Amino acid sequence: MSRNPFAPTFGAAPPLMAGREAILSDIADAFSTGPTHPSYTSLFLGCRGSGKTVILGALRDLAHERGWLSISSAAVASGLLNRIAHRCVEHLNRCSDRLPDKVMADLNAAGIGVGAHYDPQSDLSRRIDNVFAALGALATADGTGLLITVDELHAGDIDELKLLGIAVQEVVRVGRHPVAFAGAGLTLLEDSLLADTSVTFLQRCARYDVGFLDPTAAWEAIAQPVRELGTRMSPQAVDRAVTVSQGYPFMVQLVGFHAWVAANDPESEITEEDVNVGAEIAARQIGQLVVAPIWKDLSPTAKRFAIAMAQDEGESRIADIAARLGVSSGYASVYRHRLLRTGLISTAGHGKIDFALETTRDWVRTLDEYRLIEESRRRHPMGFNRPSR
């Protein structure tokens, strides 16, 4: 049997980068234009499973097609600067025989060993600006470029990211060297790292919201990989897959993957019933892999807010949520904003919100907290209000 064409693994490249053509085209133009292009340094923000890591991978592919070097790391573990600096120096070592004399002299003056003098155990975190300058000068001399990508920015150490930003800004905006930067993180960066006035470099990066796919892009992402294998998927089956996935990139891959597995003969045809089976399995996995990690990081009040939303069959009114919580609409709006940043909920019109994924409502309803509150609500129809003063 042919290999399953879908890739429901975080960070794994899907068979088709549907719906991201505009982003890739813009960054490709930035690579061609150089450091003066506003998107030469960029941030990609979105919820878990939206495809941010996949986009970083696609940008590295674009860089490699141009003969560029790429250095990638994730901010989730400490020592980010040292990791990036050593990867840069390792490349300088490979090119040590053609480093310009001035570059070699600058490295020696900064105490950075190259060639036989390279020490893989040295701490280069405070000398990353010297490393970038050397690699930028080499790229300029070679007529190539360097792309630095950093994932999981929301988990990074603010002091390290501040120093990284200063180093990149110095080599790109001041030195005009061909060193491009692309970072990715959760949307909550808007209220944390990007709200810190000391991290000016990241605030000046071009920002891209990596959201859900529109129906046309979701259709292509599901139908084309199947079609390229010579398999038939009925229009009704594709429509159903688009509907249940809601254009959420990770869900698109999950539904497609499990529909393929559910089909008796996927090489012949994938039916609407196969998609329904796949959707049921995918919904459970979304709860485990996406919703549960978000839920774990929520404050008790934010959880109560989401539980209050789950009492509705569809979209919720902020006024109703505030009444159920026994708080003012202004107080409820604070937690609405925080939940929007996590990607757990989305706006649904003036004064209304809904869960970003329908499967989230079902997952919340399985929680003991929800069942206890529902039981309390039945006993006390006025809701679980705070006691009055």
Q: Tens of pLDDT along 326-338?
A: 999 999 999 999 9
User: Given a cut of 50, is residue 388 above it in pLDDT?
Assistant: no
Q: What is the mean pLDDT of residues 58-73?
A: 96
Q: How far is CA 16 from CA 97, 218, 223, 230, in A?
A: 41, 10, 10, 16
User: Confidence band (pLDDT; 50, 70, 90) for 383?
Assistant: very low
Backbone angles phi, psi at 47, to 5 degrees: -80, 170
Q: What is the mean pLDDT of residues 357-382?
A: 81
Q: What is the mean pLDDT of residues 4-27?
A: 90
Question: What's the rounded Cα separation, in Å, for the pair 17 and 342?
Answer: 24
How wide is the angle at C-alpha 297 spanned by C-alphas 254 and 325, nearest 5°?
105
Question: What's the rounded Cα separation, in Å, for the pair 230 and 73?
Answer: 38
218-224: list long-range contacts, CB under 8 Å, 24+ apart: 218/18, 218/19, 218/242, 218/245, 218/247, 218/252, 220/16, 220/18, 220/19, 221/14, 221/16, 221/18, 221/19, 221/249, 221/252, 221/256, 222/252, 222/255, 222/256, 224/15, 224/16, 224/18
Burial profile 152-166: b = 16 or more Cβ within 10 angstroms, e = fewer: bbbebeeebbbbbbe
* Residue 143 tokens, joined: 């007529």
User: Confidence band (pLDDT; 50, 70, 90) for 265?
Assistant: confident
Q: What is the mean pLDDT of residues 9-17?
A: 83
Q: What is the mean pLDDT of residues 102-110?
A: 88
pLDDT at residue number 200: 83
3-class DSSP state of 320: helix
User: Confidence band (pLDDT; 50, 70, 90) for 57?
Assistant: very high
pLDDT at residue number 381: 54
User: Given a cut of 50, is residue 387 above it in pLDDT?
Assistant: no
The answer to whether the CB of 150 falls within 8 A of the CB of 74 is: yes
The pLDDT > 70 percentage for the chain reads 96
pLDDT at residue number 379: 67
Of 9-13, 86-90, 178-182, 340-344, the one with minimum mean pLDDT is 9-13
Query: In sequence order, what E strands does 335-389 have?
Result: 345-347, 352-355
Record the pTM. Answer: 0.88
Question: What's the rounded Cα separation, in Å, for the pair 66 and 49?
Answer: 28
Q: What is the mean pLDDT of residues 359-371?
A: 92
pLDDT digits (tens, 9 = 90+) for 193-250: 788 877 788 888 999 999 999 999 999 999 999 999 888 899 999 999 999 999 999 9
pLDDT at residue number 316: 95
pLDDT digits (tens, 9 = 90+) for 152-195: 999 999 889 999 999 999 898 777 899 999 999 998 888 877 88
Question: What's the rounded Cα separation, in Å, for the pair 195 and 191?
Answer: 5
* Residue 294 tokens, joined: 């978000």
Query: What dihedral angle (degrees, nearest 10) is formed by the CA atoms of 300, 303, 309, 315?
Result: 130
pLDDT at residue number 380: 61
Question: What's the rounded Cα separation, in Å, for the pair 209 and 203?
Answer: 14
pLDDT at residue number 293: 92
User: Given a cut of 60, is residue 385 above it in pLDDT?
Assistant: no
User: Confidence band (pLDDT; 50, 70, 90) for 10?
Assistant: confident
pLDDT at residue number 96: 82
334-338: list long-range contacts, CB under 8 Å, 24+ apart: 335/301, 335/302, 335/305, 336/305, 338/191, 338/299, 338/302
The answer to whether the CB of 317 falls within 8 A of the CB of 352 is: yes
pLDDT at residue number 14: 86
